[in-house]
């Protein structure tokens, strides 16, 4: 029901920063949580971060704790992921996701997904 369009990503050297954005639309968007997942070559999809659109509740994966910050702009119906101190291990395709349930979103059960954005971190 919610449509997601991603922007951002690219190539950056280790220690650098990138910002990802995800714009959402839909009749029930106000009830949706949004989050970020990533999938590296040869790896399964993993949770990165999530944020509730309504109350700002957030959750982060331990691997990126203290380096990534999720935020939202309710007026623009967008969610951003500011990534700092990037490491080669962060290289992956990053996906924006949305779901009516924050807990379901965190578990990777989001019903809506963005198209994916490549983030490549060189050493």
The confidence score (pLDDT) of residue 24 equals 86
The confidence score (pLDDT) of residue 4 equals 93
Query: Are the C-beta atoms of 115 and 5 separated by less than 8 Å?
Result: yes
Residue 53 has pLDDT above 80, yes or no: no
Distance in angstroms (rounded) separating the CA atoms of residues 114 and 7: 10
Residue 56 has pLDDT above 90, yes or no: no
- Average pLDDT on 6-34 reads 88
Polymer length in residues for the chain: 123
DSSP 45-77: -EEEEEEETTT--EEE-GGGTTTEEEEEETTTT
Q: What is the pLDDT of residues 74-113, one digit of tens each?
A: 778 888 999 999 999 999 999 999 998 888 999 999 889 9
């Amino acid at each position: 029901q919610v449509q997601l369009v991603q922007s951002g990503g690219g190539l950056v050297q280790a220690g650098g920063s990138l910002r990802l954005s995800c714009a959402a639309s839909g009749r029930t968007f106000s009830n949706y949580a949004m989050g970020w997942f990533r999938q590296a070559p040869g790896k399964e999809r993993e949770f990165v971060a999530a944020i509730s659109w309504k109350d700002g509740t957030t959750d982060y994966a331990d691997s990126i704790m203290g380096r990534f910050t999720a935020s939202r702009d309710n007026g623009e119906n967008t969610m951003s992921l500011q990534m700092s101190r990037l490491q080669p291990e962060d290289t992956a395709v990053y996906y924006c996701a949305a779901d009516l349930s924050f807990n379901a979103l965190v578990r990777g059960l989001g019903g809506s997904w963005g198209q994916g954005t490549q983030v490549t971190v060189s050493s």
